[in-house]
A = this chain, B = another copy of it.
């Protein structure tokens, strides 16, 4: 999407020198826009591990490009396969719980294996890395093309008055290679001249909304307003929200959604006020093996320092400040479960369906279990 008027993805091969991977260093957003050169597997591993790049789709793409660099590095060693496997292990260990990371690395391994010689292996790795990134963008774009119809309909009903969309966390292009999941219908709408306005939940404790989603929308020119996470209920009570779209970290076979902590509260408020609540996901987010979100999805607990300290900018310096009494403990649950009964529908790359097993299988019949 657009940054300072120019189109960017989150990660790409450097123009004119395809031995260098370039990526936006997201740690510094929204305060500084820095493009980082990643010249080695070590640098890719560090970028993933230290969250210069984050978000399921982007981590997968970064791993894909990392494997391309791994193949190039292995070409300069005596034992290509052994060196490649060392890189595989380092890459997989960079963020061990990221499903897309392992998936992308394995896909590359298989693809590279089919090359007849080192030159061919490198060419295949480069092509596969690009394909992984393109596919991610393609899925997100499809989500946008289906989701925009929801916005269009509301816009017609409101006779062109702004369609107010509330979103939580960052399910934007910064979490993928382009377009995003929850944001993709919004960008589609905006680019086609539909009058939209986005309420951006700041999304404590890590503030991905206020830092990343707001920055994305600002740079692409989409009208938006940052709000404290407490605010959505009031906005819905008073008719200021037409539609909620969030992303998800994991969706069960029956449509329960694990997403950033606080999503459940917004879904309750949407239900209480008859406001449509949609979750936008590429199908890679669906875990076909589990059904009950509350019982089967473990909720990550992170460090208390993310609640007690916050990072911002003062005097042009990125600074972390303590918000609470130093001795008070804090808890930091990263996700919550939104039960499918609260979800109006799921927006996927194959279309929109009900948040039910039947709904999902209608779009993904290949997941029908054998009897």
Binding site for B on A (CB under 8 A): 30-31, 199-200, 202-205, 207, 210-211, 214-215, 217-218, 224-235, 237-238, 260-262, 264-266, 268-269, 272, 294, 299, 307-314, 319-325, 327-333, 335-337
Contact = CB atoms under 8 A, between A and B. Distances in A.
A230 B203 CA distance: 8
A202 B231 CA distance: 14
Given A204-B228, A234-B299, A265-B268, 16 more contacts: A211-B323, A215-B325, A218-B327, A224-B329, A226-B308, A227-B331, A229-B229, A230-B261, A231-B261, A234-B261, A237-B294, A268-B268, A268-B272, A310-B323, A311-B321, A312-B321
Contacts of A311: 321
12 contacts: A30-B325, A204-B229, A207-B323, A211-B324, A215-B325, A229-B262, A230-B262, A230-B265, A233-B264, A237-B264, A237-B294, A319-B321
B264 A228 contact: no
Contacts of A203: 230
Contacts of A204: 202, 204, 228-230
Q: Which of A269, A299, A323, A337 has its CB near the most chain B CB atoms (within 10 A)?
A: A323
Nearest to A293: B237
Contact of A264 (B31, B211, B234, B337): B234
A347 to B, nearest CB: 23
Q: Which of A31, A230, A333 has its CB near the most chain B CB atoms (within 10 A)?
A: A230
Copies of this chain, tallied across the complex: 2
A211 B310 CA distance: 14
B229 A324 contact: no
A344 B323 CA distance: 32
A268 B269 CA distance: 7
Contacts of A211: 323-324
Nearest first, the 9 closest Cβ-Cβ pairs linking A and B are A312-B321, A230-B262, A234-B336, A204-B228, A226-B330, A30-B325, A210-B324, A268-B268, A233-B264
